[in-house]
Amino acid sequence: MSQIMMPQRDGQWLVYALSLETQTRQGAAGKRIAEYFDAVGYEQTQLSPTMIFERGFSLSSLYNPNPKSQKTIVHVDFASTGTFTIVEVQMRVNRMGNRPLSKDYEFWDTELRGMQQALDTGILDPQTSYYAAERARWYSITVMLTVLVVVLMVLMLGSLTYVYMALLSL
C-alpha cells in the first residue's frame, strides 16, 4: 500500500494541500475535476476564479461515523505555463468533536487520488470513494462498539466488586 497523505491541522479543520502538474489544458482539467467531484457527491458552489465544491454538514462529525457526511470544502485553482497546467487543490474537512481514525484518513486520501486519476486519465471511479467511505464508517462503528463493551465490562466488574465487598462486610 502506498503512503497515505496526511493533512495539516487548522483548528477544527484538517487541511489537505495538493499541487498537480498535467498536460491537460485548463478547461478540460476543470471539467474533469468538476465531473469527478459531482460523481462523489459534492455540490459546486463557485465556478471561477476558484472552483469550490462542498459536501456534508458542519455538525455531522458529532453523530455520523461516515466521513462522507462531514463538512468538506474543496478549493481548486489553475495556472497555465506553456504546455502544462498546474492544479492547486486544497481540501478542508471539519473534524469538530471527532477524532478521525486511520480509515478516515484513507478515505480522504482515496478521494484526492480519485480526483488525480480523473484529471490524468479522464476515468471517473466514484465506487472507490464509496467503498472507502463504507470501510471507514464500519471501522468507526466497530471501534465505538468495542469501547462501549469495554466500558460496560469495567462498570459491571466494578459493580460486582462493590457488591462482593458489601457482602463480605456483613
User: For the purposes of burial, counting CB atoms within 10 Å of the CB of 41, is it exposed (0-12), middle (13-18) or buried (19 or more)?
Assistant: middle
Kindly tell me if the per-residue pLDDT of 110 is higher than 70: yes
Q: Please confirm whether the linkage preceding 49 is cis (ω < 30° from 0).
A: yes
Q: Which among 103, 8, 104, 12 is positioned nearest to 58, based on CA atoms?
A: 12
Residues facing residue 54 across a β-bridge: 43, 73
pLDDT at 145: 95
- Domain of 148? 8-168
DSSP-derived pairing of the beta strands 51-55 and 8-10: unpaired
- Ranked by mean pLDDT, the top range of 8-12, 56-60, 155-159 is 155-159
Measured in whole angstroms, how far is the alpha carbon of residue 167 from the centre of its chain?
Answer: 52
Kindly tell me if the per-residue pLDDT of 1 is higher than 50: no
Segment 9-46, tens digit of pLDDT: 988 899 999 999 998 888 899 999 999 999 999 999 99
Residue 71 lies in a domain: yes
Residue 162 lies in a domain: yes
2 confidence band (pLDDT: 50, 70, 90)? low
Kindly tell me if the per-residue pLDDT of 3 is higher than 50: yes
Residue 96 lies in a domain: yes
Measured in whole angstroms, how far is the alpha carbon of residue 160 from the centre of its chain?
Answer: 42
Alpha-carbon span 150 to 120, nearest angstrom:
47
Segment 87-98, tens digit of pLDDT: 999 999 998 878
Residue 54 lies in a domain: yes
Residue 2 lies in a domain: no
Task: State the amino acid at position 131 in one-letter form.
Answer: Y
146 confidence band (pLDDT: 50, 70, 90)? very high
Q: What's the structural domain count of the chain?
A: 1
112 confidence band (pLDDT: 50, 70, 90)? very high
C-alpha cell at 113: 487520488
Residue 1 lies in a domain: no
Count CB neighbours of 39 within 10 A.
16
The pLDDT of 143-157, averaged and rounded, is 96
pLDDT at 24: 87
The pLDDT of 58-86, averaged and rounded, is 90
The pLDDT of 47-52, averaged and rounded, is 92
Residue 112 lies in a domain: yes
In the chain, pLDDT over 90 holds for what percent of residues? Answer: 69
Residues 6 or more apart whose CB falls under 8 angstroms from that of 98 comprise 61, 62, 70
Say which CATH number the domain at 55 has.
3.30.310.80
